[in-house]
Amino acid sequence: MILILIIILLVLIYFYATQNYDYWSKRNIKYESPIPFFGNHLQCSLGLKSIVAVSCELYNKYPDEKVVGYFHGRTPELIVRDPDIARLILNVDFAYFYPRGLGRDPKKEPFLKNLFHADGDSWKLLRQRLTPAFTTSKLKNMFPLIVKCAEKLEHMGEEIIARGGECDVRDFMARFTTEFIGACGFGIEMDTINNENSMFRKLGKQMFHRSRRDVFLILLWEIFPELRKMIRIFDKNLEKTLSTIILKIFEQRNFKPSGRNDFVDILLELAAKGKIKGDSLEYRNSNGLPKEVELEIDLQCLMAQVFVFFGAGFETSSSATSFTLHELAYNIDLQQKIQAEIDKVLLKYNNKLCYEAVAEMTLLEMAFKEALRILPPLGNLHRVCAAKYTIPQLGISIDPDVKIIIPIQAIQNDKRYFENPEVFNPERFADDKMNDLHKYIFLPFGEGPRACIGARLGQMQSIAGLAAVLHKFTVEPSEKSVRKIKMNPRLNIVQGVLNGIPLRLKLREK
């Protein structure tokens, strides 16, 4: 009798663990054989490979397919290889794919009420209210903050050279971007550039550190949906520290704009307008028209927006700028051309960085875009099917809750779209050539309604930082440099490097 019960139990566990594993075979879509419980996600779950690395492998393994099936635990996911299908998902048929599906329970982890993680009506109303924060006039008003940070960066470079010139440019640029995001987002000078042990630099590192505990909890959260209400992954101490800092900033301003023209001021202006109202993405009236919904901008919601502005802003920009410097160190002729352009442009503006000068540095911008092509900070875009949808190019239907991966790193390094994709060639992004590119093969900031709201700010700040460095210094490989950077396998949303990016700084000979 006991043996029979054990057999029945094992059979039930097996069926539970393999539920849905015939999903892609029913639709005649190629996929890898899944493992019970883990699906195809075992290496990601154990922190051995990132989902970006896995999606790149599958993308390259099935070169003739428009899509490839994947199982994230027991959840079917679809890796989209075809840019025309990506266009439908990200833009044309956005109403079927508006969720990003990365958030957990915001009641347990309130910082996840931010614009990046929010879904459905919460996302739509937040986006509606926050979009005016990133107009051209707002960006221009923020530029003096960038200039102050760039000046500090130059002093830090001189100190590095005085110590021999060896440096980790990943940390070098992270300290610059943390300083800027701090000034622009928190409204305070964090002194991360001059102080490598700055509390804010430590907080930034902590936000993107994945311990074994984190890996284990994420594994449980992904594989056992039934346990999700009991699991909290966000570090309580980190949340408490950030909450205390943000609340003090709000209190110092009496919860009113201070005239600094930073992100906190913009948030406080928007919060003063009261509840956000708009048409629902999720709910409809009996006549088929969207219901009106509203969202209260409470203190937790404000804090969550500052959190994501700090975290996403400094990490993505420092990743992109440090990789640009890495490539220029190995392409010295190109670096010299960019330096000549920077010198020429700045001469028009009395050798001072300004908004207009950065806009004229076209070759530097092209190099930045080429770095984003080879190694985008977000290697994948994620969406979730919200309603039954038929993919017209394939004639197959997918169900609600099926997840979508658009592997932008794989697409952006596909030789069908970019000749010799492994070669760093900024000329790909010259204006005359950009017109010939399919819009959905270069997606470092996403595309469609959920494209990165801070893309212009991130690009402006990044190019200004690069201009400040290259105007004064030359970067070249050091004894510790490696040509191919090793990525952190534990990070699955924003990519990170292992062991930094060691280079040598030298003062330019002018």
Binding positions: 452
CA dihedral 364, 368, 373, 376 (to 10 degrees): 180
Reduced to 3 states, what is the DSSP secondary structure of residue 475?
strand
β partners of residue 396: 391
Using DSSP bridges, classify how beta strands 166-168 and 75-80 pair: parallel, antiparallel or unpaired: unpaired
Residue 498: name the closest of 256, 183, 168 by CA. Answer: 168
Is residue 42 within 8 A of residue 55, CB to CB? The reply is no
Among left, alpha and beta (phi > 0; psi -120 to 50; other), residue 429 is alpha
Is residue 305 within 8 A of residue 115, CB to CB? The reply is yes
Is residue 268 within 8 A of residue 118, CB to CB? The reply is no
Q: What is the DSSP letter of 294?
A: E
The number of beta carbons lying within 10 Å of the beta carbon of residue 253 is 16
Rounded to whole angstroms, how far apart are CA atoms 18 and 16? Answer: 6
Cα 363 to the chain's mean position, in Å? 24
C-alpha distance from residue 4 to each of 1, 8, 9 (Å) = 5, 6, 8
H-helix or E-strand spanning residue 219: helix 212-223
Rounded to whole angstroms, how far apart are CA atoms 410 and 432? Answer: 24
- Residues sharing a CB contact under 8 Å with residue 254, sequence separation 6 or more, in sequence order: none
Rounded to whole angstroms, how far apart are CA atoms 133 and 119? Answer: 20
Is residue 313 within 8 A of residue 303, CB to CB? The reply is no
Rounded to whole angstroms, how far apart are CA atoms 108 and 230? Answer: 9
| Backbone torsions φ then ψ of 240, nearest 5 degrees | -65, -45
Amino acid identity, position 435: N
Reduced to 3 states, what is the DSSP secondary structure of residue 279?
strand
Binding residues for heme are 452
Residue 211: name the closest of 429, 457, 488 by CA. Answer: 488
Is residue 280 within 8 A of residue 121, CB to CB? The reply is yes
Percent helix, percent strand, percent coil in the chain, to nearest 5:
50, 10, 35
